[in-house]
Every structure is written in structure tokens, then in C-alpha cells.
Chain A
């Protein structure tokens, strides 16, 4: 064969290997374009036919290709090794048979996946079979908003192995090869796109489940069941960080297009007016909330000189910066709350010379007054030590204990705002003679509440608030509609709250005066010096 022909062959091989979707890199599903023997054959031929530098380049390419081959072998995963990983890390929740009936399953909501049906929520495929990469991603990143954690701590190979093992629970479902979902052409976010997305959101009636404002409070929410007959909640579209399959625009568009298998969420790719509406909807959903909240470490109470409005819907509150406080389920005393309904309270707070006011916002799909059997009144409370001491000693965070009480500023559906003293989650004693007031609004799956109280308080049971003092504060919330009451609640540990010092007008006067005086002094010095000469 003449050298030119050889060169052409080599060039083709190299181009295939280096430029075409590479040999094995990027996942197990991509076919290997060039097998190891053919690479070696090429190399041997190269040695015979072409100059050394080219041989060098080719050997580098070949070793890259071989390494990629090796990567593919890993990516395909070893079922036997995967079984070992599964038994160590997954079995407790997902069960020995992969049926989602592990020992921990009862405590979890949503329940762990039953792998025997081969139905996977998060997939980038047009058919039911998920790509191996989809399973790998879930194992790697976990499922936000559920009990499934990220397993990034495991080496890649172990994760691929476990993916291979998972597939053996439903061999029938994996017989059909995954077919990649083709998303419509991407539309970047703009005011017009968001507007169109909102129109589409209304036209395709997303609100039926997700609610008018996307807060998971739609009229169908209570009826929703998953493939296994377990109740399932729609996603709260304003809390993108809890999206099971990720919060990126592509993630959202993919879920919209092909639905979430095993759940009521249907596929919308063929059910929007134009294919690009999938992206308009995505842009609208993204506009509903931040991708993740910036949690507050210190609750700051701003200083104002004017009167503080009572209305939680007043514009005044919208202008204040939101402070996000995360809540956890109470799991220390019975009845424990492993799956708390309220996971976030947004705090805005101000004080003036007379009173302090807390504006709280939290999502709750139902406004519940409670029937006393299955549902209870919704409630929220702010907890403080009865007296603010300068030390670090604080009462027990879980609403105090027998020795030390806490002071609660609380609101309860039907009762309104009140004050209480507590010596534990079930030992509340209302405090009388207080001047706490407040008002709550409920709309579209969200409470907004203003609670006010005089800064100074008399007696041992109530703290007084003073500027610039680090005041311990904790939060508790109950979604009565979800059956929360008493110790079954969401709560925080102790935080600190601080009233900003009032900003007096002196800051506008003192610095200029000092500057003028300094200048005058300098002039004086210079003049004196000049005269002295």
C-alpha cells in the first residue's frame, strides 16, 4: 500500500477516535467506535509506514482510546460487585429484593423506590427505560427533597456497579434500549418567554396540582397517588432546590417533556401548543423562586422610626430583605415527625421605639382549623428565653424543660396571636395580660403573619428586647392539615436575633464637622508657619 493511502487510513482512524463522539467517554451507551485490536493494527502499520512524530501522536491517541475503553468497562458496571455495594448502602431502605420494603421504608415519605417495576422518576429518555447515566446521576446526586442522599462519597466504579445491580431487579424493563429524548430547541429566558410560559401554565392547568402560584396547593393535591397507591405530593414550584431531578433549566424542561414515571405527573411534550412552549414553561417555573435559598445565620431586626403596619400584605414588608430559616422535623420525643410538612420560614422583622414586629411567611397547602382527630389548627411560634442573660446559657431548645421555661410568641389558626410559657412541647401555659397582637393572611398555599409585641415587658416570664443584644430565638411550626400538633412539629435549634442599633442623624453631622475642623486646624498651622517665617 502506498504511504498516501496509509496516511489516509490513519487520518480516518484518528479523526474517528478523536473527533467523533469519543470512544466510550461520556457513558456506557455510546458504542465504541474503534476496538483495541484495530488501534494496535493501525499502530503497527504506522511504525512501518510513516515518520516518527506521527507515530508518537498516534500512540498518544491510541492510549487515550484504550483508557476510554477501560472507562467504558467500568461504566458498564459489575453486577456482583454492585450487589455488595447495594447490601451495604441501599438495602436498609430499598429492601433486599429491591422492592422498596426495607426496614426504614415505613418512616420515609416519599417512600424508597421499588426497583422491581423498573420505573424511574428521573430519566432523560423518551421511553420508559432510563439511561444508565440517569441512574448513575441519581445515585451520585441523590434526590433533593427526599431521604435519598448523594452517594458521591463512593468511588465512581462502585456507583456504576450498583447501577448494574439495580437493573437486575427488573430485567424485563431494561430489555428495551433507552431512547434519548429530544428536547425542542432551547429558548432562553426573557420577559416575553416568561409571560408566554405563564399563559401556557394556565392553559394546560398546571395549577390543578401545583397551585396557582406553584406552591403545591392545587385542588387535586389531596387525591394524588403514585403507581403503588401511596399518597404523593406535587412539587412546590417555588422551591426549586427540592426538585427530585434537579433544578437546572434542562432538568425542568426534561421533566415537563417526558413526565415523572410512577407519579401522576404526565408528559407534556405532545400536549403543549407549540414544542418550544416547554421552554417557556421552564422559564416561567424558574422565575417563581430562587434556585436555592440563602439561609440566615443571624436574624436581624431592622430599626424604623415610623409606625409598623399590621397588615401582612402591606408593601412595607415586601421591601424588607427576606431571611430564610430552615426547619427540621422534631424527632427527639414521641410522636416524632420524620416527614415535616413545613421546611422553611421566611422572616422579616423590624422594631421602632415602642414595639417589635415579626413578619413570617411559610408555605402550607391548606388553611386548617382542624377537626381534632386527623387535622389540627395550623400554628407557628417564636421562642425566646424568658430573660435575656449576657451568658451563653439557654433553656432546652425543644420548648424548654421542667427546670427552665421558654417564652413563646405564637399564632394559632382560630385563636390568633398570643403569648405562652412552656416547659416542654406539651406543657404550654398561656400568659395573660400581654399586649401581643397580630394578623395572618392565607392565600394560594401560603401564610403571611405579622406578630407584634412591646419592646419592654414586665415580669419574669417575658423577655424585653434591647438593641445590639444577641437574643436567642428558635422557631416552631405546625401544619395542622397534615396532622401536625403537639410534639409533631417542625422546628429549629437556637438561633440569634439582633436588633440593629438605631441609626441616628449624628452620622450625617459628625464626620463633616470633624473634616471642617481638621481643615481649619491645618490652615491655621500653615498660616502660623508662614507668619513665623
Chain B
């Protein structure tokens, strides 16, 4: 009898603790969105001959305007949940490396962006923004990092006038967000459960929206088919 009681108590305790953990996890994470962005049009990747800084930039510059991977997956698209809270507060970083912006699209929360120059040559960070103040600051070789504030949601084009082929984007989005990888997939974790508006944006193919029902602790799949402009 005593044994049975002890076992019962133990089971109850374990169950309770387990329940508590699940609740915590649920409250913390919500659901996960796995978005798949497809594009059936032709990729648009321009190649240019480089006439300067070839030891840093290489002899051929690649401008990735539309990158399509295997299975028609569209890379460099930004999938976001603008209405939701709880996005990661990790510091966003954009690097100028090999005379390219790395990554091509940076996804960030309104706040600070760290701008790196790993090239040991002059770049100038030149943003074309309307909501945020536009920036055109030189970043000579000895200035390895700079920090700029981008406090308003906006998709900001970034260029370098010294190397005119350099093109990057900074997606300042208020909610949880991620950029699609080479196969067109973006995973957004910790999306609050419930109906959510999902937005996808691409630098040349524009925007699309969908509404999905996010379930706590589950992966919700959503797919987009971008159309050429």
C-alpha cells in the first residue's frame, strides 16, 4: 500500500513537472513557420568584369538580383510575421567581404546594425531609405566596424559607390522574420499561436501576403509562389 502510494506520488510529481515544462515551452515558443518560396521565372544574375581592387574583389563581380535554387526555390526572400512579437534580439551584422555584401539580405529588428569591412580597402555604405535617415558614410580600410541605427521598418537598399556592382538589402522588420536559404526555405521560430499574417518580400519580385493558423509546438508549413514583375 505504502509502495503504491509512493509510486503514485512519484508519478504525479513527474507528470506535474513534465506538464510545467510543456507549459513553459509552449508559452515561450509558440509555433514554427516553415515557409517555402518558389519562383518559376528565370534567375537574374548579372556578371561584370572588375577593373580595380582585383586582389580583393576578384576579376568577376556577380550581382545577385534573382537567385533561384533547386526545385525553383527562391533565395534571398524575406519571410516575416509583422504583427507578432517576440522576435530575437540578436545583433544584426552586414559584412563587406570580397566586394560583396554578406549576407545579401540582412534581416533585423528595428535597432542597431553592425557594418563590417573585412576587405582592407575603402567601401562606402550608401543606403537608399525613406523612413530611416539615409546613410552615406565612408568606411576606409582601418575602420573595421561601424554601427548605424535603423529604427523604422523598411526594406533598405545598400550600395557602395566605389564598387558600383555591390548590392545588398537590409530588411528592418518589426516581427519575427528570416530570409530564405538557397533552396527557398525560411524557418521562423517562436511565432505566437493563432492566426498570423505572413509576408514575403523580394527585392525585385515584390511582396505577397498569406494568413496561416500557427499552432503551438507545431511546424506550420506555408508556401508562396512569386511572380515576375
CB within 8 Å of B: which residues of A?
A: 127-128, 203-205, 208-209, 219-220, 223-225, 227, 259, 261, 264-268, 270-273
Contacts and interface: CB of A to CB of B under 8 A. Distances in A.
Nearest to A267: B137
A172 B45 CA distance: 36
B138 A271 contact: yes
Contact of A204 (B122, B125, B161): B122
Given A220-B52, A223-B161, A267-B136, 10 more contacts: A204-B140, A208-B162, A224-B164, A225-B161, A264-B136, A266-B125, A266-B138, A268-B137, A270-B137, A272-B140
Which of A220, A224, A259 has its CB near the most chain B CB atoms (within 10 A)? A220
A272 B141 CA distance: 10
A377 B136 CA distance: 36
A271 B140 contact: yes
Interface in B109-142: 121-122, 124-126, 128, 133-134, 136-142
B187 to A, nearest CB: 36
Nearest to B165: A223
Given A203-B142, A205-B162, A259 B136 contact: yes
Contacts, number: 65
B25 to A, nearest CB: 44
Interface string B79-122: 00000000000000000000000000000000000000000011
B146 interface: yes
B140 A205 contact: yes
A268 B121 CA distance: 15
A205 B122 contact: yes
A205 B161 contact: no
Interface in B153-178: 161-164
A127 B135 CA distance: 10
A208 B164 contact: no
Nearest to B164: A223
B143 interface: yes
Contacts of B139: 271
Nearest to A207: B122
B124 to A, nearest CB: 4
25 contacts: A128-B133, A203-B140, A204-B138, A208-B52, A208-B162, A209-B161, A209-B162, A220-B161, A220-B163, A224-B161, A264-B124, A264-B161, A266-B136, A266-B137, A267-B136, A267-B137, A267-B138, A268-B137, A270-B137, A270-B143, A270-B146, A271-B139, A271-B140, A271-B146, A272-B140
B44 interface: no
B162 A127 contact: no
A219 B125 CA distance: 18
Contacts of B164: 220, 223-225
A264 B127 CA distance: 11
Interface of B: 51-52, 121-122, 124-126, 128, 133-134, 136-143, 146, 161-164
Secondary structure type dominating chain B contacts: loop
Nearest to A220: B162
A220 B161 CA distance: 8
Which of B122, B133, B139 has its CB near the most chain A CB atoms (within 10 A)? B122
Contacts of A259: 136-137
B113 to A, nearest CB: 15
Contacts of B146: 270-271
B121 A205 contact: yes
B150 to A, nearest CB: 15
Contacts of A265: 136
A386 B51 CA distance: 46
A473 to B, nearest CB: 39
Nearest to A273: B142
Contacts of B137: 259, 266-268, 270-271
The 7 closest A-B pairs by CB, nearest first: A264-B161, A223-B164, A205-B122, A219-B52, A266-B124, A266-B138, A204-B140
A219 B162 CA distance: 9
Which of B51, B125, B140 has its CB near the most chain A CB atoms (within 10 A)? B140
A209 B122 CA distance: 11
A219 B51 CA distance: 7
Nearest to B136: A266
A261 B161 CA distance: 13
A489 to B, nearest CB: 28
A128 B162 CA distance: 22
B156 to A, nearest CB: 14
Which of B136, B137, B143 has its CB near the most chain A CB atoms (within 10 A)? B136
A264 B126 contact: yes
Contacts of B162: 205, 208-209, 220, 264
Nearest to A206: B122
A47 B141 CA distance: 68
A502 to B, nearest CB: 51
A266 B143 CA distance: 14
Nearest to A223: B164
A6 B129 CA distance: 56
B134 A128 contact: yes
Which of B133, B138, B139 has its CB near the most chain A CB atoms (within 10 A)? B138
A128 B142 CA distance: 26
Nearest to B133: A128
A298 to B, nearest CB: 43
Contacts of A127: 133
A220 B61 CA distance: 14
A172 to B, nearest CB: 9
Contacts of A261: 136
A519 B26 CA distance: 121
A424 to B, nearest CB: 39
